[in-house]
Structure 1
Amino acid sequence: MHRIRQSFFWNGLTTDTKDFVEKCAVCRQTQRANPKEPLKLRDIPEYPFQLVSTDIFKFKGDDFLLIADPYSGFNDFRKLKSSTSSEVIYLLRQWCSVHGIPEILESDGGPQYSSQAFREFATNWKFKLRISSPHYPQSNGFAERKVQTVKGILKKCWHDGSDPYLAMLLLLFGVAKVLQELRDNQKRYADQVATPRPPLKTGDNVRMQTGHREWKPAKVVEMTESPRSVIVETPEGRKYRRNSKYLHTTKASIPSENSPTLECESNNAHVPVSNEYQEIAPSEQSPDQSSGIQTQYSGENADRQTKVSCYGRKIKPVEKYDPSKY
């Protein structure tokens, strides 16, 4: 904006420039990643095993199933014979028969939990399945943190040959009040560098981040039960589930599947500028014009342009620093 104000002026310059940049497809395609959003806390369960978080992790080449309770801090794990949905369902059925069926089961979007067999298991056992957004493991953060704790215990027990299940008994159980205080402190520190953004709505035109400073056009077509997680559709007709961290609203129109793609050459790329704000050459500008930017030439400096604003003030060109003059 500073460089534009040095060379041009018209009423609404700032608004028109920002609006032009927001509608520029190339600018939106290479923009920076979204800033961090304020931490969104979930409600604390009212009783143990009302909400259960689960995840699958590897240790020494073997697969393990982690099951954790956010209310009490209790966590358990079972060794998997295979990393299939049927094996995970079998162990969860055994676990639920002892501790009870939870109201909500949290997990990541792994194939074991997103399969049709696991969805039928959730329907038959009457619990709600909550899957975290792809590429956003923070949605299942409690289970991810417990995985680190259990891995640390397994590693220590593996070195000294002790029983890992006996070591699990040494973990302290949490209390709801203490858990709420810890969460409040966590949110206060996390939000210090966060930037709130308006929630996404169905029909919003967005850009979906696919890599470092790479954004692909898409459109919000469906909302999900998880916070800040939506279903988007690309111009090719493919649907993705993404967290709002990887989505950015845009005013640029979303191209259709048959629309031509935008190609930019390395040396000749340029963005077309509306004729309303193009600079007028001296030979084409009439002397009666009193607005816009005028260009004059004089004597020795005929090869050097002197720009004059619409108010008659001369705009001096920027000179480079020359140490020999001082």
Structure 2
Amino acid sequence: MEQHEVPEKPWRKIVADLFTLFGKNFLVVVDYTSNYPEVAKLEDLSSTNTISHMKSIMTRHGLPSVVVSDNGPQFSSREFRQFAMQYGFKHVTSSPEYPQSNGKAEQAVQIVKRLLKKAKENDEDPYQALLNYRTSPLSGSDRSPGEISMNRKLRTKLPSAEEHVTMHKLPDIKQKRYYDHGSNQLKPLETTDTVRVRGDGVWSEKAQVLARVAPNSYLVELEMGRRLRRNRRYLLKTQERFVPVHDDDEREKEVCVDPPSGGATASTNQSAVTPEAAQSSHSTDQSQPVSTMSDVRTTRSGRIIKLPSRYVHD
């Protein structure tokens, strides 16, 4: 089978042939570079009718430099030679006694026949069958005849490159579904919620939620005042009371008693005790000393600190 040079650009070299199917005559024209087929039903087998359909095909794809065909009467006529001169292409014919040398044409005829037969058997649109072939990647390539010929992807009813983007997302969606199925969906935290922060495998320090900075990320403040950003999975909500610790009163026991108001004197600023307790103490031991201003310790915020009994000396 004769090998023809394949040009780099489509529709510079084409092959033409005729065939009969279902009692009708057809013209097939194929581009050497892209294998893109054009098919036309012939009203008759005259050169005039054949040339008319070839002109229609050429004006859609551009004028070729070379046209390859067999030596059939439609292509060997004087009318076809005039057509070649008028449209400016070189006409190359196969050997008269060996038409199989035009292998490209023979291959194209077999492909088109198979497509039309299958469409008829399945009661399908033959034009859709041709379109599907034109948009199917060639063997050994990821590009279709239509894409090579027109430098773009042709839209069809079949899944296209645009749908592939959505199809590629499906595995990611399934993966997320499987992950969510095997994991507990943690409830969002609210501002001021008290949590335990996970560190080194244990729920250690207590903190308070300050803000939600991302769908699963929170800004929290530890009782010592340090701020952290943690993922939701590293925060455990708790019903514990959040008590911020300052440098002044760290490790000291606080009593929530309001500080004295106004310009108090030493005689009025006694230890923070109730009247009943003071009366009872006065009646039982008149000699017990009363805490003066110098004995009273307060925090920076003004709260009075009551020392544990083991630190009070008689």
TM-score by length of 1: 0.41
Q: Per chain length, whose mean CA-contact separation is higher, i.e. which structure has more relative contact order (CA < 8 Å, sep 6+)? A: 1
Provide the TM-score with structure 2 as the length reference: 0.43
